[in-house]
Structure 1
Amino acid sequence: MKKNLFNILSLAATQGFNALLPLVIFPYLLNVMGSEKYSSIVVAESISLIILTSVLYSYEVNGLTRVVRARKHGAEELSSVFSEIFFSRLFIWITCVVVATACCLLFSPEMVLVLNCWSLVSLGYIFQASFLFQGLENNGPVAFFTMISRVACVCCILYFANSGWPVYYPPLLIGGSFLGTGVCSFLYARIRLKIRLKSVSFSTIFKSLLDGRSIFSGNFSVVLFRDSNILILKFFGVDASLISSYSIAEKFIKSLQATMRPLNQFYYAKIVHDFVEGWKPNRDTLRFILSRTWLQVSFVTVVLVSGAVVWFFIGDYVALQITDKYNLHKIVLLACVMVPATLLGIGNFMLGTTGLNNLNSSGYYARVLFINGLITLASGSLLIYLFKDVGAAITFVLGECVLLVLVLYKYLFEQESRVV
């Protein structure tokens, strides 16, 4: 029981510090560096998120499963799994960075250095190998290294950042923070867990990529409706100040969503454990999953209500401190528009990621993720063209809403074949 609690708290700490970083750093950078430089930073970050999604591939899911199965065979088998995933991810990272750099050289040479600094985040995740520590139920070291590196990063930026900073300095420090966590985790795995790198053939890497392509296609589809709005705003030439305002609001909502991940991961395991072989998505299983989702919804509701109360008392004071730099009330308005995405996201994770993927409907879920990505990308482009940053905020919610409708369709229109 104590070990389970420690692992949950370690996951929560890791997500908490990762969520705290953008909430503290990005508003400060906007305040200090101005909207023009800041918008360049977040546009390059949006491109780097595509690289990160590609690097993570499917291994946070099937890599975790493989570690759980291999742990009973000892360090040698774990080393084989680790090495295969490490070199597969490294191959993806090199390919993506080369392609992204070439595109930047052709269309926006000034973004090359900024983008390459952001790519250090993805490289850090390769070395960090979260799937290994989660599979071994040993999340403490990653949480500790994350805490140290994120606090150091925040302190450096808050102390040294100024209006004269080059655009690549913040992503270099942030990327260095993630890389530092990754290298420390890698060394811990090597020294304490006796994990060693083994040679891996290209044919093994190719097979590994083929095995995870369906999960990756779903993950990549998610990028289309969760992480592409800033790029669309830039494409339509929206003013840098509006891009900056939307970026801060989006980071607040994503940070709130990140605080839910430890609970989601905890209930993922519990619900899957309670599933019985042969269950299918229908109204009965829908009720079964929803009955185990109330805690996450209650937690988010409490956080939102508490935030609203705090803002009621100190919001005007905060606005007066920084309103000469950017329109905080505009950011709050955008965040309010996007808030429903947090509750919708819980439903999509529990019913889609947890439910459909484990009720013999992973193919359907991958298809609806792709369909939703295309729908949101098309409708979002129109909304952003018409309403700029407000359109982007609506699109953020629309993507979660459309996905939930498509997921619910599978449950509601299947025959009831079991009784809970």
Structure 2
Amino acid sequence: MKRILTLFQLAVIQGGNALFPLFAFPYILIKVGDGAFSKIVLSEALAMYVLTFSLYSYDITGVSEIIGKVKTGKTADVLAVKIKIIMARLFVFSIISGVISVFIYIFDRSLIWCFILWLMLPLGTIFQSNFFHQATNSNKTLALLVTFFRVTSLIILLVSDLNKNDVYFIIFVMSASYLASGLITFFSSLIKYRRICNSIKIVHPSEIFMSLKNGFVLFLSNICVILYRNSNVVILGLVSTPSAVAMYATAEKIIKSIQALSGPLNQFYFTRLVHSNISASKLIDYPFFKKIWDNTKWQLAMLSLVISCVVLLIVELANLATLAKNIINVTPLLVIMSFSIFVGVCNYMFGVVGMSLVANERLFLLFSCITGCISIGVALLLSYKFGQFGAAVSYVMAEITLFFFVMSFYFRRVF
């Protein structure tokens, strides 16, 4: 029962983050039109780069470190680990956001304020520290806060009479919900753990830089992955029309929302793998492979159910006159990109999690780097030739390429 409750809380957290854009972005597209919507999604895509850099590799290494402290009875150090990781993330955030702001100011000043407003999203996510609540199994408060602020933000958008001049207002309402939930979660956990710990351990700067160094290889892998997962909108914006960007961005949001729904299962089973000491021997054999597969197949089954529900929802929405045109335009892209959902789950479990558990992060970095470079070239070519359809195909091809590399790693050692 406790496991089911934990999984439900994780699902609420991830569902709040995933379903929010799934409902918000198609509605915004209808209200503001292609031009304004393209501006919103392009600036958001750039802010997501900041988020990816800022989160670093702590969603993996942070969970392992905190569980290690709890296992060895060093509960008093748990909060210190959280503060250390937040400080490290803020350090990276300040550098990356500054660099991207300069580039935006040079190349397209019209996006600068949109980008600055979107920065509340990565900043809120940093303070929210999902890894901490996942490792300590304290997800209840976070689940309630995420649900409240995402629903509130969505209601504000729905009741507002939006038009193409409300770009800043729309971005503020959406990104502020992340900052609010993040800050309140941070301070509530700070108060909670001050009662347990006699004092908050002061984190020395050397500890921060050491943690950044230790997670650097996995961080580079994440950056390479982001090259093919988050770059297509930006590439399409460079070589195609606002209409193509709007359609592709809507389809990508739906696909990523479905992918995000697998997050609770990813987090739940990753935590179980760490607790099970599966990586203690660092041996890559059939039992190791099977253990990861057993934690993956249920995610694939659940995603099949979710996709079936989304298909039914799309069919129903297509019957509404105001949405029919947008649904018809996006549906072919969804069909193309849906396969990437299943492959992406396997890449995460066998690649990010599995290869890091047996200390093969550097090899996964190589796989990710090759995939990212290939993907950018393919995306540029296909997006230029075929617009949003080319971008959709390149998105799927990138996931399949990484999957091929990861599976070749296991098959050479296991079978």
TM-score, normalised via structure 1 length? 0.91
- Partner letter of residue 79 of structure 1? L
Partner residue, 2:266 = 264
Gaps of 5+ in 2: none
- Partner letter of residue 394 of structure 1? V
Partner residue, 1:295 = 298
- Partner letter of residue 109 of structure 1? R
Distance 1:382 1:131 in 2: 38
Q: Judging changes above 3 Å, is the alpha-carbon distance between structure 1 residues 62 and 38 closer, same or farther for their aligned structure 2 residues?
A: same
- Partner letter of residue 407 of structure 1? V
Partner residue, 2:163 = 163
Give the match's secondary structure for 1:293.
helix
Say whether the 8 Å CA contact 1:280–1:360 is kept in structure 2: no
How far 1:36 sits from its partner (Å)?
Answer: 0.2
Higher deviation after alignment, 342-351 or 174-183: 342-351
Partner residue, 1:363 = 362
Alignment of 1:67-146 (within 5 A): 67-71=66-70, 72-75=73-76, 77-146=77-146
Equivalences, count: 409
Distance 1:309 1:266 in 2: 28
- Partner letter of residue 233 of structure 1? L
Distance 1:69 1:286 in 2: 23
Alignment of 1:6-25 (within 5 A): 6-25=5-24
Matched, 1:275 2:278: yes
Distance 1:186 1:271 in 2: 27
Matched, 1:204 2:207: yes
Give the match's secondary structure for 1:390.
helix
Alignment of 1:178-197 (within 5 A): 178-194=178-194
CA-based RMSD: 2.1
Matched, 1:332 2:331: yes
Say whether the 8 Å CA contact 1:283–1:412 is kept in structure 2: no
TM-score, normalised via structure 2 length? 0.92
Partner residue, 1:373 = 372
- Partner letter of residue 74 of structure 2? H
Alignment of 1:9-48 (within 5 A): 9-48=8-47
How far 1:267 sits from its partner (Å)?
Answer: 2.4
How far 1:101 sits from its partner (Å)?
Answer: 1.7
- Partner letter of residue 175 of structure 2? G
How far 1:129 sits from its partner (Å)?
Answer: 1.6
Matched, 1:347 2:353: no
Matched, 1:387 2:386: yes
How far 1:113 sits from its partner (Å)?
Answer: 0.7
Q: Judging changes above 3 Å, is the alpha-carbon distance between structure 1 residues 329 and 285 closer, same or farther for their aligned structure 2 residues?
A: same
- Partner letter of residue 255 of structure 2? I
Say whether the 8 Å CA contact 1:38–1:244 is kept in structure 2: yes
- Partner letter of residue 373 of structure 2? L
Distance 1:305 1:151 in 2: 24
Partner residue, 1:231 = 234
Q: Judging changes above 3 Å, is the alpha-carbon distance between structure 1 residues 295 and 189 closer, same or farther for their aligned structure 2 residues?
A: same
How far 1:19 sits from its partner (Å)?
Answer: 1.0
Say whether the 8 Å CA contact 1:281–1:356 is kept in structure 2: no
Higher deviation after alignment, 88-97 or 194-203: 194-203
Distance 1:122 1:21 in 2: 16
- Partner letter of residue 155 of structure 1? I
Partner residue, 1:148 = 148
